[in-house]
């Protein structure tokens, strides 16, 4: 996954994508806030943030006023450094940042938490790796705990080439502030490093590993991104 981190190594491109809401971060954050409120998140809540990046999403989505035990996991040392800077003013949070592969971390951890989140990172793993992540994270959730997954996801009619074509055609049409050089890098990354799944695949894994509830919270108008909630 090192090439993935090279694409966003300075987080300049990532920050532009988030600022312009190209990947619907505003909607995803708003939904997360709503679901956390409905679940009654309180002091002492525990969160593992898989592929945390610079932790912008969690900082915006999780309440600043509670004592949140936050653990961010990312393979990139640069991401961990950026997350540390991002969360420096979350004085109520108990922050731990770990530079590690998410599957390795999950399989070797013994802690159990209320929340696990994964945003726009699982699609960088192979299908067997993603399935292994689902199995491992189920064991890291407390009974009734929640796994939030937001990521690119294929429609049932898609295969990978069709989905990549749809995705890139939209990006070239709508991502106006991205330079030609940046778009070329994004295109190369998607074609070589992305391995999206269908929503039905995630749901089947969740059922197989014993999740009690599965909800689709959001699908964007272009059917590129999905937000799923799995309850242990």
Nearest to 123 by CA among 23, 34, 17, 54: 23
Please report the pLDDT score of residue 3 as a whole number: 47
Q: Which CATH architecture has domain 2-57+65-231?
A: 3-Layer(aba) Sandwich (3.40)
Kindly state the tokens that stand for 129. Answer: 């790796």
Q: Name the DSSP class of 90.
A: -
Please report the pLDDT score of residue 10 as a whole number: 52
Please report the pLDDT score of residue 12 as a whole number: 79
Strands 113-119 and 141-152, sheet pairing: parallel
| Per-domain residue ranges of the chain | 2-57+65-231
Please report the pLDDT score of residue 23 as a whole number: 97
Question: What pLDDT, in 10s, does the model give residues 125-179?
Answer: 999 999 999 999 999 999 999 999 999 999 999 999 999 999 999 999 999 999 9
Ranges of the chain whose pLDDT falls below 50? 1-5, 9
Please report the pLDDT score of residue 22 as a whole number: 97
The length of the chain in residues reads 232
Please give the Cα distance from 107 to 105 (Å, whole number): 6
Please report the pLDDT score of residue 137 as a whole number: 95
């Amino acid at each position: 996954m090192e090439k993935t981190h090279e694409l966003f190594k300075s987080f300049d491109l990532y920050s532009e994508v988030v600022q312009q809401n190209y990947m619907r971060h505003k909607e995803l954050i708003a939904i997360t806030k709503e679901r956390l409120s409905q679940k009654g998140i309180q002091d002492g809540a525990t969160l593992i943030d898989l592929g945390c990046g610079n932790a912008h999403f969690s900082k915006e989505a999780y309440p600043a006023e509670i004592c949140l035990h936050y653990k961010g996991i990312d393979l990139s040392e640069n991401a961990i450094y950026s997350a540390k800077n991002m969360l420096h003013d979350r004085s109520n949070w108990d922050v731990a940042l770990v530079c590690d592969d998410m599957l390795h971390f999950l399989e070797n951890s013994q802690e159990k938490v209320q929340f696990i989140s994964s945003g726009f990172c699982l699609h960088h793993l192979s299908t067997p790796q993603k399935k292994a992540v689902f199995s491992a994270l189920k064991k890291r959730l407390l009974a009734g705990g929640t796994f939030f997954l937001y990521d690119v996801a294929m429609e049932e009619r898609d295969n990978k080439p069709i989905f990549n074509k749809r995705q890139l055609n939209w990006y070239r049409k709508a991502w106006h502030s991205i330079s030609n050089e940046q778009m070329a890098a994004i295109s190369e990354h998607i074609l070589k490093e992305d391995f999206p799944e269908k929503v039905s695949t995630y749901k089947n894994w969740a059922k197989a590993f014993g999740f009690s509830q599965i909800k689709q919270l959001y699908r964007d108008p272009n059917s590129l991104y999905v937000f799923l909630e799995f309850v242990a």
